[in-house]
């Protein structure tokens, strides 16, 4: 993906757009994660409250948020609506976070439009008030852009938690979604599933529809209590039923994978890989049915076409590296690792008893033991690498943990560079899975563009 230099209207500066965006956001980088709604509300008010001009579908959850956002955006676009989509983090560059979709065509925000929206947002920051975080700046810019583009609906993914997340500023969402709840970001959200569920349930709004995926009992009780107190009409979603298993192109390396599903009487193609998509797609279908009840015109044809056209890069996605098929996934917490292993276990080579070669890097804050416990099996190979420009776990420390969790690994080596790890893996005749960090995956994808 090449970048064409864009000139600054005032100075004629033609710096690469990614560097220009980084420079704009740099002053806000140091504020890190600082949950709270006061700063974003103040900033949005200074911008004319653009979030109040856009109907919103708000998507929270520990895992599956991005897939659900992708399904909803695609279907609503195929139904004839102009859809804004805001997700995080990005894989390669900032433009991935803010997208428009119309007529079934998804487009990332243009570099010039992103720069303009960010500049307008930053100009509205009151120097006498507490400074917004980087995420709050980008979120406000997304609302501003969607309002300016007059989207029919915005599909907005929660950044972290829900209750105090910068996206949680709309009082009357079309639907509030909680996809799943597991132990993640416990340093911020709470150490128990109940505490984490309380934060996620903060996206629910009085008398607004709530679409809830399957939850652990401890979390379900908390969410149900919150929904009842707000008198939310709740749809509790069960996984869809798969009825076609073998893809048409087994040579792609995908082996077995769900290709069609049925939920709530609707049959649809399932474009995203992995058994977990039976749940994620069913959540999307339930949300679309809720929108229908609210008067939105969404035909079965739009659902079929939109579900078939859905793409969500870097999540259980097959890519080619040096001519070798590699399964890439951003799985970085235990629940996502379990979902990934469930899919890997459907692959023909794995079902035939062949081990898996894992290429991994993880941030220092992640639950390394639990992730390895979910993924590794005797006979597997593991090659670890650092995550550049982030608080990375040391590759040698990951190897030590992995050997404790699964001492029957056939091979386990730490590398100083992910490309060395990939080279080692692709020299083998094996099923290769590259996972552990979206940041690491994005780093590799950036080098390929």
* Tens digit of each residue's pLDDT (9 = 90 or more) over 90-111: 999 999 999 999 999 999 999 9
How much is the average pLDDT of 445-449?
79
Is residue 11 scored above 70 in pLDDT?
A: no
Nearest to 66 by CA among 331, 312, 272: 312
β-pairing verdict for 56-60 and 175-178: parallel
* pLDDT, tens digit (0-9, with 9 covering 90-100), for 22-78: 999 999 987 667 888 999 999 999 999 999 999 999 999 999 999 999 999 999 999
* pLDDT, tens digit (0-9, with 9 covering 90-100), for 254-295: 444 448 999 999 999 999 999 999 999 999 999 999 999 999
Q: How far apart are CA 385 and CA 416, in angstroms?
A: 6
Q: Which residues contact 381 (CB under 8 A, 6 or more apart)?
A: 355, 356, 357, 358, 409, 410, 411, 412, 425, 428, 430
- C-alpha angle with apex 180: 367 to 258, nearest 5 degrees? 100
Entry pTM: 0.91
> Domains in the chain, start-ordered, CATH in brackets?
17-309 (3.40.1190.10), 317-448 (3.90.190.20)
Token output for 420: 């060395």
Write down the mean pLDDT value for the chain: 91
- The conformation of residue 416, written as its DSSP 8-state character, comes to S
DSSP track, 159-196: SSSSTT-TT---SS-SEEEE----S-SHHHH-SSHHHH
Token output for 21: 């965006």
Nearest to 326 by CA among 449, 439, 419: 419
Q: Give me the pLDDT at residue 449, please.
A: 61
User: Quick one: CA torsion of 362, 364, 369, 370, rounded to 10 degrees?
Assistant: -70
Nearest to 307 by CA among 81, 87, 59, 67: 67
Is residue 2 scored above 60 in pLDDT?
A: no
Q: Give me the pLDDT at residue 331, please.
A: 87
Q: Give me the pLDDT at residue 186, please.
A: 57
* Phi and psi at residue 330, to the nearest 5°: -85, 10
């Amino acid at each position: 993906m090449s970048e064409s230099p864009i000139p600054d209207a005032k100075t004629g500066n033609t710096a690469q757009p990614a560097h220009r965006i980084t420079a704009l956001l740099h002053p806000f980088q140091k504020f890190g994660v600082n949950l709270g709604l006061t700063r974003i509300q103040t900033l949005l008010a200074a911008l004319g409250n653009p979030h109040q001009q856009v109907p919103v579908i708000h998507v929270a959850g520990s895992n599956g948020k991005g897939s659900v956002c992708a399904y909803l955006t695609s279907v609503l676009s195929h139904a004839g609506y102009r859809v804004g989509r805001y997700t995080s983090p990005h894989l390669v560059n900032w433009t991935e976070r803010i997208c428009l979709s119309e007529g079934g065509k998804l487009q990332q925000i243009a570099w010039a439009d992103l720069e303009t929206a960010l500049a307008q947002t930053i100009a509205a920051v009151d120097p006498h008030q507490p400074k917004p975080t980087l995420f709050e700046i980008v979120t406000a810019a997304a609302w501003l852009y969607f309002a300016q583009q007059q989207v029919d609906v915005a599909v907005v993914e929660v950044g972290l938690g829900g209750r105090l997340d910068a996206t949680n500023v709309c009082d009357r969402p079309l639907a509030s979604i909680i996809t799943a709840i597991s132990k993640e970001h416990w340093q911020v959200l709470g150490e128990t599933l109940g505490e984490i569920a309380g934060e996620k349930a903060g996206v629910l709004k009085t008398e607004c529809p709530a679409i809830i995926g399957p939850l652990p009992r401890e979390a379900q009780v908390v969410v149900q209590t919150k929904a009842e107190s707000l008198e939310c009409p709740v749809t509790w979603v069960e996984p869809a039923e798969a009825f076609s298993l073998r893809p048409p192109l087994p040579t792609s390396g995908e082996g077995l994978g769900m290709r069609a599903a049925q939920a709530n009487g609707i049959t649809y193609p399932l474009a995203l890989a992995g058994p977990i998509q039976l749940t994620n797609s069913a959540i999307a279908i339930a949300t679309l049915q809720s929108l229908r009840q609210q008067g939105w015109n969404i035909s079965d044809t739009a659902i079929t076409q939109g579900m078939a056209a859905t793409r969500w890069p870097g999540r259980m996605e097959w890519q080619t590296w040096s001519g070798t098929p590699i399964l890439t996934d951003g799985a970085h917490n235990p629940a996502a690792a379990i979902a990934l292993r469930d899919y890997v276990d459907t692959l023909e080579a794995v079902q035939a008893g062949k081990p898996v070669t894992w290429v991994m890097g993880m941030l220092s804050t992640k639950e390394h033991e639990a992730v390895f416990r979910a993924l590794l099996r005797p006979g597997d190979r593991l090659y670890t690498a650092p995550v550049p420009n982030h608080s990375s776990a040391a590759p040698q420390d990951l190897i030590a943990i992995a050997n404790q969790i699964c001492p029957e690994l056939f091979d386990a080596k730490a590398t100083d560079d992910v490309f060395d790890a990939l080279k080692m893996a692709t020299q083998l005749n094996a099923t290769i899975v590259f996972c552990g960090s979206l940041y690491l995956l994005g780093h590799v994808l950036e080098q390929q563009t």
